[in-house]
Amino acid sequence: MDNHAALRANVGLLGQLLGDTIKDHHGQSFLDKIETIRQLAKSARQGNDDDQQQLLDTLKHLSDDELLPVARAFSQFLNLANVAEQFHTISRQTQHEAGAGPLSQVFERLKTAEINEDSIKAAVAELDIELVLTAHPTEVTRRTFIHKHVQLNDCLAALELDLPEPEKAELLERVEQLITQAWHSNEIRAQRPTPVDEAKWGFAVIENSLWPALPRFMRQLDEQLHTQLGIRLPLDAAPVRFASWMGGDRDGNPFVTAKVTREVLLLGRWMASSLFLNDIQELVSELSMSQANDELAQQTEHHDEPYRVILRQLREDLRETLMFLNAKVQGQSTDARDLITTTEQLRQPLELCYRSLQDCGLGKIADGLLLDVIRKVACFGIHLLKLDIRQDGERHTQALAEISRYLGLGDYADWSEADKQAFLLNELNSRRPLLPRQWQPGAETREVLDTCQVIAEHPQDAFGIYTISMAGAPSDVLAVQLLLKECGVNFPMPVAPLFETLDDLNNGADVIEQLYKLPWYRGYLQGRQYVMIGYSDSAKDAGMMAAGWAQYSAMEKLVAISDREQIKLTLFHGRGGSLGRGGGPARQAILAQPPGSTLGGLRVTEQGEMIRFKFGLPKVAIDSLALYASAVLEANLLPPPEPEPQWRELMDTIADVSCAHYRSLIRDEPDFVPYFRAATPEQELVKLPLGSRPAKRRPGGVESLRAIPWIFAWTQNRLMLPAWLGAHKGLEQVIADGQESALMAMNKQWPFFRARLDMLEMVFLKADSNLAAYYDSLLVPTELKPLGKRLRDELQTSMKLILQLKEEAELLSNEPWIKESIKLRNPYTDPLNVLQAELLKRSRQHEEDDISPALDQALMVTIAGIAAGMRNTG
């Protein structure tokens, strides 16, 4: 059976069982209608115009009672297709056909390139990848469904085995039960999650998937090192670690307060204690050996089960700590003590046992579960995840302005950059406090100071970094450092400016260079600078082509300055799942960065539904971790080429022309905002209880809209506009200048440029101008329709241009797997699009109070279903 046939067989099986469930609940005639719609959609995709018209007529004439179950049928099918596809990446058959994993492949590439062993050993020793879990959810799938999908995955894995018929029948019955449970559950949350709910969701991903996956990934890496280089990973190696924004990201989210941050930190410790307690309990039962080295024998007074003595004590300390944290979480008083307060307290007894077993020739035992637990300690520690803090730079300015006005110094916000820096540095060097004792700040300033006080209450290793969004000047960074100092933070918390508009990206290197020149700042840094690169807002500001080039250029300059100043630079990539927000295959994205940009480590956000796709199952998580590690090793040891001077000039032209065109539409076209609001479900998205964060930073038009709903809305109507608009104009200009052959060379030889074209190709395969036109026909007022036609024409022109540059007859001809995946979904996503347009029309014809709950629910289901069909929504 070929690779795709196995996937199609599983999709068919799950679809058939969903059909049986629908028939049991709604009858055969309703199931026949669903199947007719599916067949019409499939035929319409193949170019049959009569069937296309029949599909539209069928969906248009559904009764109000039929709307919701039809929407649910297609939406649930797409979720099941995603389950089958996720399983397919880790199925025995696929793994067998794919052969070697990413780690062995990268070591082969290094060997072929004749990279010397010492360089490889050094690169592995310096491997430093931090994956930052963020909520922002465009994660529309409820946790209850995610749990069912995990169980379905387990069933599919078992069905691959050669089982006796009764066992197979039992498994199929379980699959049917899970699908039936899902059909009779509500897909859409009743309430928007709170920031604490989001953090709990992140902890659940750790518990169910990353906790078992991490040590298995480490074993794979260790085995490759041993096989290829004859070395082992050190005991305390943590090449991959995890941080989180859930409960710490307050930028534009009024619901993330100091109280929430404190609670999430507590829950993280509670979860870590609970997970470690389970592991230590297992070790107590396993390590029954009596042989011990002198160090352990003396410490346990020559007990006949020395390992158990040490581990039982650790278990009791963890139990009491857990009781203490449990009471604290529930707001109760307790006599229990907080005994395990540092990661070192876990590490020392475990390493003592490990050394003793190795000394006694019991290495096989030492390298079993004990080694796995030691590695989890190194990676997760007692806080489980390091919590990042993120806040808008404007909030710090306002806080300092309020303080300076109270002290009679004038208004900090009105000062020049030079005056701000002079004031901040003076205060940072001063020993007297800045904050007056009797002063009562306003609510917003109080919240900023309270957050800094929460940081002061906790140890340094509870936190990742403090990120300042919309940072544009050195004073933005110094302001945070001063506020932290004034609130009693006694460790140098890393502070990272986030450069996320086109101007900020272009000026970012100057900002960092100015900071490096300040002696106080150099002392604070301790040799390491973090800088966050924003993908979403820069693409929303300038279009994907101009933003991509600005990101690349900013990284290149930052790497050069930090290298010159001998400061270790860690670039933090704020990528989303969707292509309009810097998403796309991780390996390709890493290898498309400037040479040297991962030498100081890689830090990257993993967002919303992408967390589930990449880390939702242990086997998938192992593959994802191996993919990241191998890509960073490759980027550091086999860096991509520097772009030719001519390529840089061409990219400047492409960026300038594409940005001008993009902005002429988004900002200067008076019909654009009304068209956007009419042609997409942007206004209806606010009803969908996705994440805890509001869709807008402030009231206003497109500029006030967050990057996520901006992308999400265009993904829904299949125009996918933010991911391609403007790019073709830049490319056309270069071709008109007679440089087409240079573009062909850039595509073949420069990973950065090739990644841009590949991303466009993937977007175009998901885009559909016929469906976008259908939305227009039902929803857009006559006077705005010419703009829609113009945009769809641009989409078609862009598609042809990309095929021409890539010398391909059809999109993604060299990526059969992605192509098959999209092809498989279309007959289910297309009817949801048609249905959504019809529902939007009906909903907008009613007054707000007059919309039936079933119609509203059906609309929400189509939004969730299309999100599942498109896979990366925001």
Q: Which residues are catalytic?
A: 136, 540
Q: Are strands 129-134 and 240-244 parallel, antiparallel or unpaired?
A: parallel
Torsion angle defined by CA atoms of residues 542, 543, 548 and 551, in that order, rounded to the nearest 10 degrees: 20
Distance CA 566, CA 742 (A): 36
Q: Token match 């179950």: residue?
A: 69
Q: Is the dihedral of CA 746, 751, 755, 756 positive or negative?
A: negative
Task: Return the structure tokens found at 803.
Answer: 């095929």
Task: Calculate the dihedral angle through the C-alpha atoms of 651, 656, 661, 665, rounding to the nearest 10 degrees.
Answer: 120
> What is the rounded CA–CA span in Å between residue 35 and residue 20?
12
Continuous H helices in 287-332: 294-299, 306-329
As a whole number of angstroms, the distance between CA 794 and CA 802 comes to 12
Is the separation of the CB atoms in 601 and 464 below 8 Å?
no
Q: Using alpha carbons only, what angle is made at residue 585 by residues 100 and 642, rounded to the nearest 5 degrees?
A: 95
**269-307 residues labelled b (16+ CB within 10 A) or e (exposed):** bbbbbbbbbebbeebbeebebeebeeebeebbeeeebbb
- The enclosing H or E element of 391 equals strand 386-392
Q: What is the DSSP string of 89-122?
A: HHSHHHHHHH-S-HHHHHHHHHHHTT--HHHHHH
Integer CA distances (angstroms), 656 to 752, 761, 872, in order: 17, 21, 28
Determine the 3-state secondary structure of 242 from DSSP.
strand
Which residue is it, tokens 């933090």? Answer: 572
Q: Which two tokens stand for residue 96?
A: 């067998």
Phi/psi for 229 (5° steps) reads: -125, -5
Nearest to 830 by CA among 799, 862, 805: 862
Check: CB of residue 544 under 8 Å from CB of residue 758: no
Short-list 351, 103, 133, CA closest to 217: 103
SS (H, E, C) 822-873: HHHHHHHHHHHHHHHHHHHHHHHHCCHHHCCHHHHHHHHHHHHHHHHHHCCC
What backbone torsions phi and psi does residue 576 show, to the nearest 5 degrees? -100, -175
Alpha-carbon distance 428 to 531, whole Å? 21
Give the C-alpha separation, 120 to 111, whole Å: 10
Instruction: Return the SS3 of 279.
Output: helix
Least Cα distance to 720 among 768, 688, 673 occurs for 768
Identify whether the C-beta of residue 816 lies closer than 8 Å to the C-beta of residue 35. no
